[in-house]
Chains A and B, each alone.
Chain A
Amino acid sequence: MRAVWILWLRQIKRYARARTRLIGSLGQPVLFLFALGFGFGPIYARAGGGNYLEFVVPGIIAMGIIFTAVFGGIEIIWDRQFGFLKETLVAPVPRLAIVLGRTLGGATTAMLQGVIVLVICLIAGFRIHHPLLVPLAVVFMFLIALVFAAIGTAIGSVLRDMQGFQLIMNFLVMPLFFFSNALFPTAGLPAPLRLAVQLNPLSYGVAGMRDALAGTASWGMALDLAVLGGMAGVLLGLSSFLFSRIEA
């Protein structure tokens, strides 16, 4: 489908051209890397956890990905306000193609963002145990990106203006990030918190990335792939449905 391709390309071009946004969205993960990665390192090691930097880097990569991905989806609101959305709504292509193009484009840029964060982490001292598994880690990055881009698309299809943006960030995206295994291990957590972490699709992405990059074995990558892939499918379906209900 050329329509999917051209809308994908549009997202990539917009991402590459918005340099300030690109740099701005790197700020948060870099801050977390230095403040948490190095700040908690000593106490984590003393508690017998080992190298915290090694543990937290996949979580920080996930952070870089999810914010960019959700934002890419929510851009629909911008397109609605600046009018471009209408151009796609009257085009003779299925709404599903529009959703796919946009969401895949948003997911691709978010994945690139994740790769950039990984490179920064390598410079900061992170070590990869199995270089051959790096492509697999990138697959996990893309799946995380796809899940969150689809969430963004679904939200962007429903919200009319940016006023709800803060609400979404603070009551959906932030909780999904903090109530995951991105920053702390699940072993020994209070039961409710552990349940939250286990129900959170992001946890499976972080676990998969962690296993691929740091050479650990958390939940088994097959399970991680299945959960993330399934969630991505469900959310793409939901966002297509919500997008198809938009009336100009």
Chain B
Amino acid sequence: MAAIIEVDGLVKTFGTFKAVDGISFSVGEGTIRAFLGPNGAGKTTTIKILTTVLAPTSGRIKVAGYDPVRERTAVRRAFGIVFQDPSLDEELTAHENMQLHGVLYGVPRKELRERMELLLRFVGLWERRNDYVKQFSGGMKRRLEIARAFLHQPRLLFLDEPTLGLDPQTRSHIWEFVRGLSREQQVTVFFTTHAMEEAERVADDITVIDHGRIVAEGTAASLKGRTGSATLEDAFIALTGRDIREDEATPADRMRMMRRAWRGR
């Protein structure tokens, strides 16, 4: 199976703080990969680098066969993304948000019209297409963002905590939808989450990152087996420790992390 994401020795430093510390992994085309780790482990930094919005300090990366630093536009055309925080224009309607995306990605007019209807129907927002996004609930916005991410037929979809703050009904609906489209259109999915049961249920493979390093990789079953844990949550804690992490690392946190790194943990 060909790899759609190849990362080799990726490092990203902010000042003296190593957010990503030499990670290597690859993701096979058409698979669903969960990228797990405690807060501040380096997940979002890695996704930002893969999606061309942050430059790596060093390392070799290929996304859909292109280099995210030197072949930005080709990489950007190949992926769709749902960010951790909403990224819709609330002053526009659902339809206008889709339209804007389609035009930015150069989707031909006729195809754009058809795909917009197909996707908006799929996420159950077709009837609400002419309503302003500011009138939507959190779940509706998420559904719209996912529909939008599929609009230009990406080969690869990044989802950064896509189900954060959603109720179980919406979560299960969203995963059904993502899984369905992934299988149907051979779209690779690379997602982060803190909900371990989601990772276990949805992902083919799991990569666990902590302190900027990959600490484990494999199927949910193999991670549980290796750590002798009953659940993936226990396996995750066995792999990453019990310390509680701060979300946004303050300078003091970074120093603490550095000190820990010095002592070799």
Binding site for B on A (CB under 8 A): 2-3, 5-7, 10, 13-14, 17-18, 79, 82-94, 247-248
Contact = CB atoms under 8 A, between A and B. Distances in A.
B89 A248 contact: no
Contacts of B54: 247-248
Given A6-B104, A248-B48, A83 B76 contact: no
Nearest to A82: B90
Contact of A6 (B83, B86, B99): B99
27 contacts: A3-B106, A5-B103, A6-B100, A6-B103, A6-B104, A10-B89, A10-B92, A10-B96, A10-B100, A13-B96, A14-B91, A82-B90, A83-B86, A84-B87, A86-B53, A87-B87, A87-B89, A87-B101, A88-B104, A91-B101, A92-B77, A94-B73, A247-B48, A247-B54, A247-B55, A248-B48, A248-B53
Nearest to B99: A6
A84 B89 contact: yes
Interface size class of B (residues with CB under 8 A): 20 to 34
Contact of A2 (B73, B74, B106): B106
Interface string B69-87: 0001110110101010111
B105 interface: yes
Contacts of B73: 92-94
Contact of B104 (A3, A17, A85): A3
Given A3-B104, A91-B105, A17 B91 contact: yes
Contacts of A2: 103, 106
B92 A91 contact: no
B88 interface: yes
A1 to B, nearest CB: 10
Listed residue (A13, A14, A84, A88) with the most chain B CB atoms within 10 angstroms of its CB:
A84
B76 A90 contact: yes
B35 to A, nearest CB: 17
A91 B104 contact: yes
A3 B83 CA distance: 21
B231 interface: no
Identify the 10 closest CB pairs spanning chains A and B, nearest first. A248-B53, A92-B76, A83-B87, A91-B104, A6-B103, A92-B77, A87-B87, A86-B87, A92-B73, A84-B89
Given A2-B106, A6-B103, A89 B91 contact: no
Contacts of B90: 82
Nearest to A13: B92
A2 B61 CA distance: 31
A74 to B, nearest CB: 16
B73 to A, nearest CB: 5
B51 interface: yes
A5 B100 CA distance: 10
A248 B83 CA distance: 11
A157 B204 CA distance: 40
A23 to B, nearest CB: 17
A17 B134 CA distance: 13
B133 to A, nearest CB: 10
A248 to B, nearest CB: 4
B219 interface: no
A91 B101 CA distance: 8
B39 interface: no
Nearest to A79: B89
Contacts of B96: 10, 13
Contact of B76 (A3, A91, A248): A91
B163 to A, nearest CB: 17
Nearest to A97: B104
Given A91-B104, A92-B105, A247-B54, 7 more contacts: A10-B100, A83-B87, A85-B87, A88-B104, A89-B53, A90-B79, A247-B53
Contacts of B88: 83-84, 87
Interface in B38-56: 48, 51-55
A149 to B, nearest CB: 18
A72 to B, nearest CB: 13
Contacts of B81: 90
B91 A90 contact: no
Listed residue (B73, B77, B87, B106) with the most chain A CB atoms within 10 angstroms of its CB:
B87
Listed residue (A13, A86, A91, A92) with the most chain B CB atoms within 10 angstroms of its CB:
A92
Nearest to B44: A248
Contacts of A17: 91
